[in-house]
Chains A and B, each alone.
Chain A
């Protein structure tokens, strides 16, 4: 025995898993949860699960995008307002399948420090989430997991609301937790799927 342990990984980057604990307080919550779980048809329906990174994303102003009305305080006719402070970033150049490093081309973005989470909408594989693990010079960053599909130049990077294509992994247990009285704790478990 040399005492030198070997650590081996076989999964080549792995996949994302999302565990979500939701407290159901009232009848509306129960009905919403039941509708969501039943609509996934036992995990057979792909879902886009968002990653809420409100405090961490590289927004230029340091906080989440805000909406701004007209100068007299009125919104547009459909009640929407101007959106300001979103990050606008693309990938510089084409990226090969399973690349571990990409170069960003930021037009509006705060400085990166590593740990930021973003998603990319791939041509055929839908949205997948990546995390920035190292930041090198000239906007070169290391990302995990490796790139899911080869992409062309200037594909958009979504820092504002990263999305990941997933399926529900525990439909039976989740549905069993949705019961009256209306103070249930629902645990949802999502796992990433490669393509819709």
Chain B
């Protein structure tokens, strides 16, 4: 994983930014697409995926919030795109193939005034693909990739309030939490009343 280079950092300071997002799924049949139109060939010096052709995702219908890609927070992203190549559609249509649990890498490229990339792709984020779905909208197939950050787990979070019902489910005869429902925030119930 590369971090942002000085060249990209200088571009981030500019009020006008031209950039594109890149997505790379290293599955059995790798899937590569970017938010531009047509083909894009990655540089030979690219850290992750050198000298490969990325397909334009046609219309990126819905992109995730870029501002929340910092490390540490687990979050779910839904990437919706149309105009995908047959490789992506194959994963959606063929039940024998699955993208579930595959890694997805997301990177960004900044361009200068003549659309020359200022640096190689900065691969910023890695996620795990969850459910993949597709639907038809205005005669185009839209594919939705639902991803979470790699560190996130899919299990439910712990309960924040332990209620009488919770306690009774484990200890059917114990009345410890019987009066919990009488509590409310900011008041103190006299006990025993």
Contacts and interface: CB of A to CB of B under 8 A. Distances in A.
A6 interface: yes
A9 interface: yes
Nearest to A194: B38
Contacts of B139: 42-44, 169, 171-172
A193 B168 CA distance: 62
Which residue of A6, A12, A13, A169 has the most chain B CB atoms within 10 A of its CB atom? A12
Contacts of B114: 100-101, 142
Interface in A85-104: 97-98, 100-101
Given A6-B15, A12-B34, A194 B56 contact: yes
A125 B17 contact: no
Interface string B52-94: 0001101010010000000000000000000100000000000
Nearest to B112: A100
Contact of A7 (B16, B35, B41): B16
A148 interface: yes
Which residue of B17, B58, B83, B114 has the most chain A CB atoms within 10 A of its CB atom? B114
Interface in A141-168: 142, 145-146, 148-149
Contacts of A148: 38-39
Contacts of A97: 39-41
A8 interface: yes
Contacts, number: 78
Contacts of A78: none
Interface residues of B, number: 28
Contacts of A146: 115
Interface in A1-39: 4-15
Contact of A13 (B63, B115, B138): B115
Contacts of A10: 19-21, 35, 60, 63
Contacts of B17: 6-9
B61 to A, nearest CB: 12
A123 B15 CA distance: 37
Interface string B106-119: 00000101111000
Interface in B1-57: 15-21, 34-41, 55-56
Interface residues of A, number: 32
Contacts of A7: 15-17
Contacts of B55: 194
Given A7-B16, A14-B37, A98-B40, A169 B138 contact: yes
B37 A145 contact: yes
A121 interface: no
Contacts of B39: 97-98, 148-149, 194
Contacts of B19: 8-10, 12
B16 A11 contact: no
A97 B39 CA distance: 8
B37 A15 contact: yes
B10 to A, nearest CB: 14
Contacts of A100: 113-116
Given A11-B37, A97-B39, A5 B15 contact: yes
9 A-B pairs with the lowest CB-CB distances in the bound complex, closest first = A12-B36, A100-B114, A100-B115, A12-B20, A15-B37, A146-B115, A194-B38, A8-B17, A43-B139
18 contacts: A5-B15, A7-B16, A8-B17, A9-B17, A10-B21, A10-B35, A11-B20, A12-B19, A13-B37, A98-B39, A98-B41, A100-B114, A100-B115, A148-B38, A149-B39, A172-B139, A194-B37, A194-B55
